[in-house]
Amino acid sequence: MTRAPMADFNQRADASVEGVTRAPAMTPYVSGFVAIVGRPNVGKSTFLNQVLGQKISIVSDKPQTTRNKILGVKHLPTGQIIFFDTPGIHHPAEREKLRLNQRMVQTARSAVREVDLILLLIEPQRTSEDQLLFDILRNIKTPRILVVNKIDLVGKSKLIPLLDGLRDEKDDFSEMIPICAKTGENMDKLIDLTLSYLPEGMPYFPEDQVTDQPVRFLASEIVREKVIEKTHDEIPYVVSVQIEKFREDEIKALIHIEITIYVEKDSQKGILIGRKGGMLKEIGSAARLELEGLLATKVFLQLWVKVKKEWRKNDLFLNEMGY
Identify the pLDDT of residue 316: 84
Q: What is the pLDDT of residues 210-241, one digit of tens each?
A: 887 778 888 888 998 899 888 887 787 788 89
* Co-location of 43 and 129 in the same domain: yes
Pairing of strands 144-148, 175-178: parallel
* Co-location of 160 and 235 in the same domain: no
- Structural domain harbouring 247: 215-320
Q: What is the pLDDT of residues 291-316, one digit of tens each?
A: 998 888 899 999 999 999 988 887 78
Is residue 206 within 8 Å of 224, Cβ to Cβ? no
- For 243, list phi and psi in degrees, rounded to 5: -75, 125
Integer angstrom CA distances of residue 161 from 39, 153, 166, 167: 22, 14, 9, 10
Out of 10-19, 46-55, 215-224, pick the least confident: 10-19
Say which CATH number the domain at 91 has. 3.40.50.300
Q: H-helix or E-strand containing 84?
A: strand 79-85
Q: Is residue 267 part of a domain?
A: yes
**What 3-state class would DSSP assign to 140?**
coil
Identify the pLDDT of residue 98: 56
The angle subtended at Cα 21 by Cα 19 and Cα 23, nearest 5°, is: 145
DSSP 9: H
Q: Is residue 260 part of a domain?
A: yes
Q: Is residue 52 part of a domain?
A: yes
* Co-location of 102 and 190 in the same domain: yes
Identify the pLDDT of residue 104: 52
* Co-location of 254 and 301 in the same domain: yes
Q: Which residues lie across from 306 on neighbouring strands?
A: 262
Compute the residue count for the chain: 323
* Co-location of 179 and 94 in the same domain: yes
Q: Which residue has the higher pLDDT, 312 or 28?
A: 28
Side chain identity at residue 25, one-letter code? A
Identify the pLDDT of residue 81: 96
Cα separation, 30 vs 195, in Å, equals 7
Is residue 26 within 8 Å of 78, Cβ to Cβ? no
Q: H-helix or E-strand containing 38?
A: strand 30-38
Closest CA to 294 of 49, 87, 60: 49
Give Cα 114 to chain centroid, integer Å. Answer: 16
Q: What is the mean pLDDT of residues 155-179?
A: 79
Average pLDDT, the chain: 80
Instruction: Kindly report the pTM of this predicted structure.
Output: 0.69
User: Does the structure show a pLDDT above 90 at 184?
Assistant: yes
Final residue of a domain: which of 160, 195, 230?
195
Where is mean pLDDT largest: 17-31, 95-109, 124-138, 289-303?
A: 289-303
Cα separation, 39 vs 87, in Å, equals 8
Label residue 267 by pLDDT band (50, 70, 90): very high
Q: What is the pLDDT of residues 124-139, one digit of tens each?
A: 887 777 777 887 788 7
Q: What is the mean pLDDT of residues 111-115?
A: 73
Final residue of a domain: which of 136, 166, 195?
195
User: Does the structure show a pLDDT above 50 at 201?
Assistant: yes
